[in-house]
Amino acid sequence: MRKRGDWPENAVYALLGVLVVALAIQAYVLVRAVPEPQLMPLTARQASGTVSFRIIGTCSGPISQGWNLISLCANVSNTNITAVLSEIDYRYVMRWNETAQNFQIFSPLAASNPFTRFETNRSYFVYLNSVSGSIEPNSNTNPDMNITLTTGWSTPAWPYEFDVNFTRYFNSTVHRYHMKWNATTQQFVIWSPRAAAPPPSLMFVGDGQFVYSDVTNVLSYNKTNLTT
């Protein structure tokens, strides 16, 4: 296990435990109606890797079989989930509820769903049935954004068509942890400014993310500042 330096290891497991319990409860309800596949196991082990999401042009990349944590890296005009994901064989879409600190699950096979549209300022988990897939909606680039992050875990999007080092917008004064998802190992990658040897801090086009905040704050994306 990677040495974490002076940041509290028990706090990390406690925070991840919230994700595990929330997912397990909601997975049980949904899987009773829609049997397979099993919902993802969430672990606190560190890993390295990248997840990307293909839309068009420079906003492109692979989406792999299993769970993928993604953002919409373009300003999609039709945000209906069935429209955006019309070209891929997917089973579930999960959205993090910042207020309740648990997941909401969308399934195209469900009689009703807690949400039916993507929001460009959020990250989402998408479960892909097939080995790989891609989507190509008509879309424009996203503008500068201000995203409110609540106390606890939030899932702000990385909504742009270029890669970035997330330390350029991660505010260690109010942000404690950053998590990405490794689609190959199906595990979270945990980053902390207090870690002795943190994993890579790159966000690739289409990546989604979790950010843990000690207080409610505003994450500001300025495209000019992020690219210069």
pLDDT per residue over 74-102, tens digit each?
Answer: 898 899 999 999 888 999 999 999 999 99
The least confident of 13-22, 29-38, 76-85 is 29-38
- Of 209, 159, 176, nearest to 50 by C-alpha is 209
What's the pLDDT band for 228 if we cut at 50, 70, 90? confident
* pLDDT the model gives residue 3: 43
What would the mean pLDDT of 203-223 be, rounded to a whole number?
A: 96
What would the mean pLDDT of 161-178 be, rounded to a whole number?
A: 96
Can you tell me the distance from the alpha carbon of 159 to that of 65, in angstroms, rounded to the nearest whole number? 22
What are the C-alpha distances in Å from 107 to residues 29, 64, 92, 129?
12, 18, 5, 13
- Of 154, 141, 149, nearest to 208 by C-alpha is 154
What would the mean pLDDT of 120-148 be, rounded to a whole number?
A: 87
* pLDDT the model gives residue 132: 76
The answer on pLDDT for 169 being more than 80 is yes
90 SS3 class: strand
* pLDDT the model gives residue 52: 47
Domain containing 90 equals 1-228
What's the pLDDT band for 26 if we cut at 50, 70, 90? very low
The answer on pLDDT for 105 being more than 80 is yes
**Total structural domains in the chain?**
1
Q: How far is CA 196 from the centre of its chain?
A: 24
pLDDT tens, residue by residue, 55-76: 445 676 678 899 999 999 889 8
* pLDDT the model gives residue 53: 46
B/e letters for 47-84, b = 16+ CB within 10 Å, e = fewer, are beebbbbbbbeebbbebbebbbbbbbbbebeeeebeeb
